[in-house]
Amino acid sequence: MRKNGWTTSIVVLAVSILAGRQDAQAGKYAASFLEIGVGARGLGMGGAYIALSRDVSAFHWNPAGLGYLQRPQLAFMYASQFGSLADPLASFNHLGAGMSLPGGAGFAVNWVRLASDQIPIYPELSGDNLGQRLRNPELRPDGQPLGYFADVENAFYFSFAKLTSFEMDWGYNTLAFPVEIPIGVNLKFIQQKLYDKSASGFGIDVGAMIRLGIADMFNEDALGKLAFGFVVKDITTTVLTWSTRQRDEISPKYRWGFAYEQPLAFIHGSVTFSWQTKSRYDQSNHVGFEINSRAFFLRIGSSDGKLTAGTGMHIWRVNLDYAFVGYEVGNVHRLSALIEL
């Protein structure tokens, strides 16, 4: 791609992907910013949150968790994508709101945005080959960009969930125990803009949970609750159509996991263990552990072998959370807040 005689390798690469590729890989990384993760609690637990999410951030992990909303909630998150907090390579933000509805239902609206507005454009190399540039200093680039362009990616989620609960009686040395089954759905609209090219598309995610009261099941007060989560992302195949008429297809992906929450009376809190798998790119496993005492939380996890950790506190109706996520190319820090109104 040229503009006034100059080009950038980044733009050339991007346009070649958008306009030229027709193989199965063309849509593999489409809308990959949606895999970054929302909510520092789940991220601090290694992303193993599919069976635990029960607040506004559930739209990302498992929309069924929105069925547990009791009060209106507002959620915020800011994250620098590599680099420093003050000068990141890109910024990732989340803003969401949710509320309970009559009959054990929940509704939420969420906005996710990834943006990098300082991608440099460098001049085209002068001369025919490296030898000419070595012999003639005037042909060598000075390393100064001629300008900048932006990569901006947005997703808007409209989510609904319904919680169904009942008691099951095994009829054998046990009391009736509670079973909770929420089911949820996301309707999402995705927009992307790279340089002067743009794309948009719609997608649907569905999720469900099964949450069992183990304490009631075995008539043992010291036990906790066991939950299973199931999600199908892009169940109808999400199609992003670019202004170049290229179409990127995001095929359905399946995720599942479980979590066990064990109350600990001596610290007036609980410990939680969770595990899940996902397969957007390759099969990956995620493990998380959390301990809380009154209003303070400590978390550690593994996101497909990469260390995660975090902490949080609950003050009145406000949750403040921090997460550390390790990557090969650098570490990332996440800050999020949740307010119950």
80 bridge partner residues: 91
**Distance in angstroms (rounded) separating the CA atoms of residues 34 and 191:** 11
- DSSP letter at 89 equals E
User: Model's pTM, two decimal places?
Assistant: 0.83
What pLDDT sits at residue 20? Answer: 41
Angstrom CA distances, 289 to 55, 138, 198, 236, 292, stand at 18, 59, 40, 33, 10
**CATH assignment, 9-340:** 2.40.160.40
**Distance in angstroms (rounded) separating the CA atoms of residues 250 and 203:** 9
Percent of the chain with pLDDT over 70: 86
**241-259: per-residue pLDDT in tens?**
999 889 999 999 999 999 9
**Distance in angstroms (rounded) separating the CA atoms of residues 67 and 108:** 10
**73-126: per-residue pLDDT in tens?**
999 998 777 666 666 677 889 999 999 999 889 999 999 999 887 777 777 777
**Distance in angstroms (rounded) separating the CA atoms of residues 46 and 300:** 7
What pLDDT sits at residue 97? Answer: 97
A 10 A CB-CB count for 38 gives 27
At 139 the three-state DSSP class reads helix
**284-329: per-residue pLDDT in tens?**
899 999 999 888 999 999 998 899 999 999 998 999 999 998 775 5
What pLDDT sits at residue 330? Answer: 60
Domain limits of the chain?
A: 9-340
Summary mean pLDDT of the chain:
84
